[in-house]
Amino acid sequence: MRFHRRTRSVLFASAVGAAAVVPGLSGQAVAAPTPSIQNAGLERLAEGVPECWQEYSTGRNTGAFRVVKGASGKVATEVEITARTSGYKALIQDAKCAIKVRPGRQYDLEVRYRSTSDSPEIVLFRKNAGGKWVRWETLPPLSAAKAFRSATVRTPVVPAGTSEIRWGLALSEPGTLVTDNYRVAAASGELRCKGPECKRGKWVVRSFAGNTGVRAIHSVLLHNGKVLMIAGSGNGAGRFGRGEFVTKVYDPKTNKFTNVPTPYDMFCAGHVQLPDGRVLVMSGTEEYAQYDEVGNETAGWIGSKKSYIFNPRTNRYQKVNDMVDGHWYPSATILGNGDVYSVGGYAAQRAENAANLVSLVAERYSLAQKRWLNQDEVAQPGINWATYPSLILTEDGRLFYNGSSVFSHPINADGSLRGPGFLNPTTGAWGALPNNGNLRAPASRDMSAALLLPPAQDQKVMIIGGKNFADANAKAIRYTDVINLKAANPRFVAGPNLPYGRVAIGDQVTPQGGGAGKTYVSAVILADGKVFETGGSQYTRSEHVHEASILDPTKQAKNMKWTPVAADPVARTYHNTAVLLPDGRVLAVGSNPDYPGADGDSFFDTRISIYSPPYMYKGARPKITTAPKGWKRGAKPVVKTNTKITKAYLIRPMAVTHSSDPNQRLVNLPVKSLGGNRYRLTMDKRANITPPGWYMLVVRTKGGQPSVARWVHIS
């Protein structure tokens, strides 16, 4: 039996934005409503359609609505999508049967469903003070289910002026979704979350037809919530020769790209966010390497001297002066005064034997002078930093090289491996840690992940995984090591090994990795202050490890533990990135496995995966209702929330390339309650703890629930 199409059954002709108006009935709010759902079991039909329910469709997709056998009664509804370009379909309540609610309250919504889709989502609508129906919220995706299962979600706090709400479970990809037995109740106590997503989180993969995706070599979260994705030539000599250089801005809310004119090949450049939110991009590819017929490199890569600044307001690049030398694969670290320090990468010329030549020039971008300084204006340590050395700004203004790099390791004058140590960017002085700082397997830290563990005030650095690329037969390692930079004699100590993971060889996935380690691994500080790791391979761009896990960094290294969570369905190997979004989700993009692409250049996966961590399913999250936008260091700003909180912190937006972001950090903000959900926060006074720029302000409840971030500017 099929639903009959009725005029009022199609609520939208195209995708609906947050402020879109939905036709419905006007009315006054009920003073003390008792929530209920009419025809909750869908048993009463009128002309083949459940009474009080109607079709809902957005975007461009084809499919059908049907009546099928119910979970406990005779009737349930099936939504099917056979082809989709955009939007989704759902069954939602008629306006005349909406749920009467009270502002300031929350409600638990329950539905029984089964679905072939691995990402059905609950969509919410509310009637505002003007009596108009508007899109309210889309809640985190649920998991596929072959048999009927129950799912319960909690709404956000009902906004002021809201009198009624409506909801439904939406299908947004080809497949089927059957729903039945809807329920609603006023929320009380903690939400009892059920289902695999409650403990493991949930991934949703977004695909892009044709050539509309992007080979995201570099990803930067902008302070407007969008993500800058730079491909340049995207590891394609053919595209380089044709001058096909790509940059796109991706909007996670709309799943749409904006094309950005790209002035030169930014493939394998460096980048960092400036204090005003613009993105400084440095070097890139001046010339590709050359190979003979059997694949031997006959001439190395040449790095570009060019540098540009991307402006999020205009989506355009603005040229700045050239660097002193080329730096293909350079570091990029922001300093406490907003300057940028950069070393390493391949120079603007090849060596005498035509091999790759690492630049020994240290470069500094002056924020005050808005230019790259001349070579004689920067202290020159004369160090061979190899490529993408991970240099993290410490509380005393030095840069800590933690042992993580890409392609090869920094070397000493005698050719030996340069281990961890401290560099003074002002004087050029270098101090190595004895015995490589006790870092285990220092030669196996190529393409590892390294980050300043939360909070930044603790000055603890973790290095994760890696591989010895000098040994083609060596597997990636599972080691993680932690160092306390505040110790009198800093030394690494062993952290928890990465969990076992499923390994993909071609299209085959083994149940266990047999102790598989990870190279090309990404590490992300989550909105609740924990650390998330994802992606990686055992070998050079092959045998991809499908495993992800979360760690609590506040424990001592010996007591830390990785907790396995849902793995990204897409294999993420070389040239992958992952960034935290303002709403607390994680975006993962990019993968350049070691096999040829259809265009003859190289294969590149352009799908985007978005991960909803477990905290997205633990009920309502706190909300920052008021907060000053501009903060001075040492200030004590007052914020207001909609519920009690116990923690607050600032998270620097990520700028990632080749799995690494040395500027990633979370800064703790001590919290003092002023009553009435008002709190005084205390900013750290030290510029080297909180370099200037835009940050995401996040508050957290006693139970560990983080808020959606509020953007604030630190100066």
- Please report the pLDDT score of residue 295 as a whole number: 84
Q: What is the CATH number of domain 206-617?
A: 2.130.10.80
Indicate the helix (H) or strand (E) that contains 198. helix 197-200
Average pLDDT over residues 354-383: 98
| DSSP code per residue over 437-449 | GG-SSGGG-BT-E
Average pLDDT over residues 318-342: 98
**% of the chain surpassing 70 pLDDT:** 93
Cα 464 to Cα 137, 648, 655, distances in angstroms: 37, 27, 18
pLDDT (tens digit per residue) in 57-68: 999 999 999 999
For the domain made up of 624-714, give the CATH fold.
Answer: Immunoglobulin-like (2.60.40)
Is 271:294 a contact under the CB 8 Å cutoff?
no
The Cα 260–Cα 317 span in angstroms is: 8
Q: Residue type for 261, please? A: P
Torsions phi, psi for 179 (to 5 deg)? -125, 155
Burial of 314 by CB count in 10 Å (0-12 exposed, 13-18 middle, 19+ buried)? exposed
Examine domains 206-617 and 624-714 and report if their fold is the same: no
Q: Is the pLDDT reported for residue 511 higher than 60?
A: no
For the beta sheet containing 710-714, the strands, ordered from the edge strand earlier in sequence to the opposite edge, are 630-631, 710-714, 693-700, 647-651, 666-668
- Please report the pLDDT score of residue 320 as a whole number: 98
Average pLDDT over residues 589-599: 84
Is 664:451 a contact under the CB 8 Å cutoff?
yes
Average pLDDT over residues 464-482: 93
- Please report the pLDDT score of residue 425 as a whole number: 98
pLDDT (tens digit per residue) in 703-715: 999 999 999 999 9
Is 319:297 a contact under the CB 8 Å cutoff?
no
Q: What is the dihedral of CA 420, 421, 423, 424, to 10 degrees?
A: 160
Average pLDDT over residues 192-216: 88
Q: Is the pLDDT reported for residue 30 higher than 70?
A: no
Buried/exposed code over 620-654 (b: 16+ C-beta within 10 A; e: otherwise): bbbbbeebeeebeeeeebebebbbebebbbbbbbb
Q: What tokens were used for 692?
A: 């200037």
The Cα 361–Cα 367 span in angstroms is: 19
Peptide bond into 455 cis (omega under 30): yes
Q: Is the pLDDT reported for residue 595 higher than 60?
A: yes
Q: Is the pLDDT reported for residue 603 higher than 60?
A: yes
Q: Is the pLDDT reported for residue 490 higher than 50?
A: yes
- Please report the pLDDT score of residue 500 as a whole number: 81
Q: Is the pLDDT reported for residue 498 higher than 60?
A: yes
> CA 383, 385, 390: angle at the middle one, nearest 5?
130
Average pLDDT over residues 215-232: 97
Name the E strands within 288-406: 290-291, 297-299, 302-303, 307-311, 316-319, 333-334, 340-342, 363-366, 371-372, 391-393, 399-401
- Please report the pLDDT score of residue 33 as a whole number: 58
- Please report the pLDDT score of residue 191 as a whole number: 86
Q: Is the pLDDT reported for residue 26 higher than 70?
A: no
pLDDT (tens digit per residue) in 130-156: 999 999 999 999 999 999 999 999 998
Among 1.20.1250.20, 3.40.190.10, 2.10.109.10, 2.60.120.260, name the CATH number for the domain at 7-194. Answer: 2.60.120.260
- State the chain's mean pLDDT as an integer: 91
- Please report the pLDDT score of residue 12 as a whole number: 28
Q: Is the pLDDT reported for residue 445 higher than 80?
A: yes
- Domain range annotation of the chain: 7-194, 206-617, 624-714
- Please report the pLDDT score of residue 190 as a whole number: 83
Question: pTM of the predicted model, to two decimals?
Answer: 0.92
Q: Is the pLDDT reported for residue 98 higher than 70?
A: yes
Q: Is the pLDDT reported for residue 641 higher than 90?
A: yes
Average pLDDT over residues 538-548: 88
Q: How many residues does the chain have?
A: 715
In terms of pLDDT, which residue wins out, 511 or 438? 438
Q: Nearest-CA neighbor of 343 among 282, 277, 396?
A: 282
- Please report the pLDDT score of residue 509 as a whole number: 60
Which residues fall within 8 angstroms of residue 31, CB to CB, at 6 or more apart?
none
Average pLDDT over residues 679-701: 98
